[in-house]
Amino acid sequence: MHSEVRIKAGAAKEAATVLGTVSTAVKNAALQAIADALRRETAQILEANRLDMEAAGAKGLSGAFIERLMLDESRVESMSRGLEELIGLADPVGEVVDGRRLPNGLEIVKVRVPLGVVGIIYESRPNVTVDAAGLCLKAGNAVILRGGSEAINSNKALVGIATAAAVEAGVPKKALQLIETTNRAAAEEMMGLAGYIDVLIPRGGAGLIRTVIEKAKVPVIETGVGNCHTYVDAAADLNMAARIAFNAKVQRPGVCNAMETLLIHRSIADIFLPDMCHSFRQAGIEIRGDETVCALCKEAVPATEEDWYTEYLALTLSIKVVDDLNEAIAHIRKYGSGHSEAIVTGNLAAARRFTREIDAAAVYINASTRFTDGSEFGLGAEIGISTQKLHARGPMGLQALTSSKFIIAGEGQIRGACPEEGVRPSVKK
């Protein structure tokens, strides 16, 4: 008697061995078939989503929650478009990453292969279901999806439609599976399935990610938490700095690459801050500042120690005045989450020191942190933004969903001299 999770993980492992050798043409055909099927079955998807929306409304869930859960025709269309974009990306499987002939004549190549079985644990955002399924399929991985319970009807509809279309195109049936048991125990069971699931990628808020990292026995790729800073140096072009800081905070405050703390060199604070704070206030941003900031900006309220650690993901910004580049770097080292950090400066030495000494996935000179994104970086679609240092760091495209293997070909090479020189193995034919 096995649980749903255990059964599906076993089936995924079997499916992965087949999917890993499926041709690019078949995978692309499956992506197109899923895109077409989602368009064709939009009514069915929206009907399932309506059930989820009604239940969420009855539970009194927040507006932002409902907004993420909601599907409409244009959202289904953009899911389909996302799949079609994957068709255009190069298949990472089979790429020869490295290779040479060794002195003994052995020919060695390092080839990209799928990871195997990828588990995605996420919240009630049905677009993640299709997104993650498409990326895993293109990279040749079987995927086990465990989405938030409030999206269960939407997810069942999406996975049902996608699976039927993919199977028709020649993909193994169990390559794409949804965990329908939506309690916490099912998620925790996934986290323990070492030997079945090759990697778990949590997608969602900081709480979800922390839970997965703490409980998982399966390797996890940590994504998403971004306590991002912009440091305006003494040598900055102040108009450029204002434009970059404003964009980093205001253009889309709810995402991980948005700025949470602005650091200002003391020598320019009095000419930079009053106008900057005014612009932020006009854009509806609440400002929490240190003493100097509060003295210069009537819009600011005092920041607490807690503020420097906080990823607001909201219309709130903390601002601190620092004495020099050293203090800016030290602040970011202490409070930053290693996601995206920017310096605005015209001074080459400052720019070089900042990029060398700041330990983050993406370090910017004179640009907005908002660019940290797989598509903006030219990697194509992304499965998330890794803030850890192993395997992948920063936006993760298809390559982050692969591993590699060495293939070595020879004509009878053996290693070293045999210790038992008297024994000369041979076979009479």
Q: Which of residues 393-422 bind a copy of itself (CB under 8 A)?
A: 393-394, 403-416, 418-420, 422
When the beta carbons of 156 and 353 are compared against a copy of itself, the nearer one is 353
Of 126-134, 281-289, 301-309, 317-325, the segment contacting a copy of itself by CB under 8 A is 281-289
Asked if 320 and 303 touch (Cβ cutoff 8 Å), the reply is yes
Minimum distance from CB of 114 to a copy of itself (Å)?
Answer: 9
Binders in 364-383 for a copy of itself, by CB under 8 A: 364-368, 370-372, 376-378
- Amino acid 107 reads E
- From candidates 61, 87, 167, 213, binder to a copy of itself by CB under 8 A: 213
Dist CA 200 CA 217 (whole Å): 10
Binders in 16-75 for a copy of itself, by CB under 8 A: 17, 20-21
Contacts 24+ apart (CB under 8 A), 269-273: 269/293, 269/296, 269/321, 270/296, 271/238, 272/232, 272/238, 272/241, 272/242, 273/297, 273/319, 273/321
Closest CA to 184 of 153, 218, 160, 207: 207
DSSP-assigned letter for residue 311? -
275 in contact with a copy of itself (CB under 8 A): yes
Binders in 308-367 for a copy of itself, by CB under 8 A: 333, 351, 355-357, 359-367
- From candidates 36, 95, 237, 286, binder to a copy of itself by CB under 8 A: 237
Q: Total residues at the site for a copy of itself (CB under 8 A)? A: 94
Binders in 238-267 for a copy of itself, by CB under 8 A: 238-248, 250-252
198 in contact with a copy of itself (CB under 8 A): yes
When the beta carbons of 306 and 420 are compared against a copy of itself, the nearer one is 420
Asked if 341 and 291 touch (Cβ cutoff 8 Å), the reply is no
CA distances from 416 to 59, 413, 419 (A): 70, 10, 9
Binders in 106-135 for a copy of itself, by CB under 8 A: 106, 108, 110, 113, 115-116
Minimum distance from CB of 176 to a copy of itself (Å)?
Answer: 20
Minimum distance from CB of 317 to a copy of itself (Å)?
Answer: 13
- From candidates 219, 294, 295, 327, binder to a copy of itself by CB under 8 A: 219
10 in contact with a copy of itself (CB under 8 A): no
- Amino acid 191 reads M
When the beta carbons of 124 and 369 are compared against a copy of itself, the nearer one is 369
Burial (CB < 10 A; 0-12, 13-18, 19+), residue 194, is exposed
DSSP string, 102-140: -TTS-EEEEEEEE-SEEEEEE-S-HHHHHHHHHHHHHTT
Minimum distance from CB of 58 to a copy of itself (Å)?
Answer: 32
181 in contact with a copy of itself (CB under 8 A): no
Burial (CB < 10 A; 0-12, 13-18, 19+), residue 211, is middle
Dist CA 245 CA 259 (whole Å): 8
Cα Rg of the chain, angstroms: 25
Binders in 76-105 for a copy of itself, by CB under 8 A: 100, 102
423 in contact with a copy of itself (CB under 8 A): yes
- Amino acid 154 reads S
270 in contact with a copy of itself (CB under 8 A): no
